[in-house]
Amino acid sequence: MQAPYDARFKILAEGYPDLLLRLLGIAGTGTKPQPINILRELQLDPVHVDHVYRIGSENEGRLVHFEAFSSWSNQRVPILALYRFLLKHKYNLPVSSYIVLMAEKYVPKTMPEKAVYQENDGLRIEAPYKIVRLWEIDPAVAFEPGCEPLLPWVQLLKGGRSEFKRASAALEWLADHPDAAPYPVKSMAHNLATLATLRYDGVAILHILERLRKKLMLSPESLTDSWLYQAGVAAGELKGKAEGKAEGKAEGKLDGKREALRKVLNKKFPAIGALPEVDQIQSLEVLDELLLTVLDMQSADEARAAVQAALRVN
């Protein structure tokens, strides 16, 4: 699982394992799983991200081991078989292995029926595993009292924009009642926005989260840099490095934000044209504010006027 999704999954897996296992249908309400540090117990390379829980008593319970994939990885599946074998040998308990798929659009049409771990000396381990598809899970549990840590994951569950909007509204309520929040609401909002990129484009995310952004007084920079401009900024920085200029990184970031703005404008108003004025805007802050402004525009003429006004401010 690649950053930034890895960090979000860790928050849930390490801080709220009972809610996570309930969400995935692995354990029922009221189950208190005991986390096992698989890396420490099995003396494995800490580069791997794995989660293991003991459910039930130490002698008569069972182990649940799973990995979450934001996109399918043939290289990571075999490790499930190795871990299952090592866990079974160490604890002598039944072991269930799961792969949690986070985004339907990144799932291949066919997946192996078993995880197969093999080394050059002939060692071969085969193990079954189960698939959990987040987009098939009912999000209702996230809106139950005491299940607030699940709210940032709602937009990846079954449903659509209405559920996404409901999760955003729930975070707005938590912003007014911070004592009910499991961790800072600003962090929850960032997690909601970041995870949403697995399913929605930046225009939709900004539109749905606009009220939440204003409620929490989040700067446009704090929400957009992590996802909306990610591809454009990265491309601009690479261009700057290739040119070997000290100012390349800053200019690359501007290029990325200009490109993101154009994508928003062209999506909302296909006939708006190239708008060369955008290239004359040299302020990151002005570009951010302009992007949020055009989301509420109803016509291409309004958008053109907003660009002209931003250019004057710049």
Q: Residue 234: what pLDDT?
A: 45
Q: Give the integer Cα–Cα distance in Å for 69 and 137.
A: 16
pLDDT tens by residue, 281-310: 888 778 877 876 776 677 888 888 888 888
Rounded to two decimals, what is the model's pTM? 0.70
Whether residue 148 has pLDDT greater than 50? yes
Q: Give the integer Cα–Cα distance in Å for 105 and 277.
A: 36
CA-nearest of 58, 64, 59, 82 to 17 is 64
Tell me, what DSSP letter sits at residue 5? H
Query: Structure tokens of 2?
Result: 């690649």
- Among all chains, which residue has been given the structure tokens 């995870």? 195
Query: Structure tokens of 274?
Result: 């190239």
Least confident of 4-8, 69-73, 237-241, 293-297: 237-241
Query: Structure tokens of 184?
Result: 């800072």
Q: Give the integer Cα–Cα distance in Å for 216 and 212.
A: 6
Expressed in angstroms, the distance from the first to the final Cα of the chain is 40
Whether residue 249 has pLDDT greater than 70? no
pLDDT tens by residue, 61-102: 899 988 888 888 888 889 889 889 988 988 899 999 999 999
Domain boundaries, the chain: 5-136, 153-224, 230-313
Indicate the SS3 state at residue 108: coil
H-run or E-run covering 223: helix 220-224
